[in-house]
Amino acid sequence: MVLDDREREKLDDRDDAAFYAEPRLVTHVDDGFRDQLTAVYDEHLSAGARVFDAMSSHVSHLPDRSFERVVGHGMNERELAANDRLTDRFVQNFNETQRLPLADDAFDAVLCAVSVQYLEYPERTFDEFGRVLAPDGTLVVSFSNRMFPTKAVRAWRSASMDGRAALVGEYIDATDRFTDPQVSRCRPERDPFCAVIARGR
Ligand SMILES: C[S@@+](CC[C@H](N)C(=O)[O-])C[C@H]1O[C@@H](n2cnc3c(N)ncnc32)[C@H](O)[C@@H]1O
């Protein structure tokens, strides 16, 4: 395991379902971040790809391109229903259940945008991301310096941007399901943006 019990702790340890019960139809990132993330997706996602957008909301950062399917997961049904890029959707609390209701190797891309900090069991959740990602598919985990601090795990709150990229790399390496994790465009100065990209095994 990458995190110990103390590193998994949150300031607000109440059920995440209560925190996400009401839809938050806000944007969690600024335009500069969003443009950079869409550029990364543009580079790595082909037309016709099967995409799993994990920890999603009403906003999509996908480029204007047609995909075979875009399955969205989140914590609030109304947020997901408002996301017009999704072809399917489901709600699941990953801090309670990590097993995904998705087939092995079902996706060419697994995306997790500005949300990884909320995972209390990232090792098991990333194992599931890897299970559903096809061999040579692409995992993109992105983050900025913004977060709901009371809901982020201690290991994340106390790390620098570079430290967070390293932590995501450790989550990836803790599974046997990815190869070649790379940090892309980590900019710790103003307007921080970081994406960690790996390939399915
Ligand atoms: C800051 S929002 C980011 C949403 C979206 N990815 C975006 O870029 O706008 C954080 C998201 O993390 C997800 N999330 C938070 N806690 C979660 C949990 N315990 N289990 C599963 N997903 C969770 C929810 O989907 C929530 O909308």
Output the tens digit of pLDDT for each of the chain's 201 residues.
Answer: 999 999 999 999 999 999 999 988 777 788 889 999 999 999 999 999 999 999 999 999 999 999 999 999 999 999 999 999 999 999 999 999 999 999 999 999 999 999 999 999 999 999 999 999 999 999 999 999 989 999 999 999 999 999 999 999 999 999 999 998 999 877 766 668 999 999 999
Which DSSP helix (H) or strand (E) runs through 35? helix 31-44
CATH topology of domain 16-200: Rossmann fold (3.40.50)
Probe residue for ligand 1, chosen from 27, 118, 125, 147 as the CB with the greatest number of ligand atoms within 8 Å: 118
Q: How far apart are the first and last CA of the chain?
A: 20
Residue 164 main-chain phi, psi, to 5 deg: -70, -40
Number of neighbours of residue 42 by Cβ within 10 angstroms: 12
Q: Which two tokens stand for residue 50?
A: 């099967």
Distance 56 CA to ligand 1 centre (A): 6
Q: For a substitution probing ligand 1, which of 75, 121, 150 has the most ligand atoms within 8 Å of its CB?
A: 75
**Helix/strand/coil for 196:** strand
Q: How far apart are alpha carbons 70 and 68 in whole angstroms?
A: 7
Which residues have C-beta atoms less than 6 Å from ligand 1? Answer: 16, 20, 28, 55-57, 59, 74-75, 93-95, 113-115, 118
- Measured CA to CA, the distance from residue 74 to residue 90 in angstroms comes to 7
Tokens 């079902």 correspond to 106
